[in-house]
Amino acid sequence: MSERQPGRALDAVAQKWRRLAEQRRAHFVDLFHSGRWKHYYSEEQYLELMREAFRLAERWAVIAPPPADEVEPGAHTVVPIVIAKRRDAA
């Protein structure tokens, strides 16, 4: 009978959660660049959700660092995103 190694199983699950968090972060960046976020969220909602997506992706990267063969140069570069405040007509 083969012996199960619980550490490997947990590591695989953690890697899946890390990749999911990275995909979610990439989705919010894509929403920003395309401007589609305006169809789904208010500015405040979007900023809050995007901050959460970035925070969780960074946290999962600490919990389950990507394997060396998965890391690409510049893959974890933070892209600054600024949303200009709306000016109301006077």
Q: Fill in the amino acid letter for 39.
A: H
Q: Are 41 and 49 in contact (CB under 8 A)?
A: yes
- Sorted by where each begins, the domain ranges of the chain are 6-70
Name the pTM for this structure: 0.69
Q: And the tokens for 69? A: 């063969």
Tens-digit pLDDT string for the chain (90 aa): 456 677 788 889 999 999 999 999 999 999 999 999 999 999 999 999 999 999 999 999 999 998 877 766 555 555 555 555 556 554
DSSP the chain: -PPP-HHHHHHHHHHHHHHHHHHHHHHHHHHHHHTTHHHH--HHHHHHHHHHHHHHHHHHHHHSPPPGGG--TTTT-------PPP----
Specify the pLDDT at position 10. Answer: 87
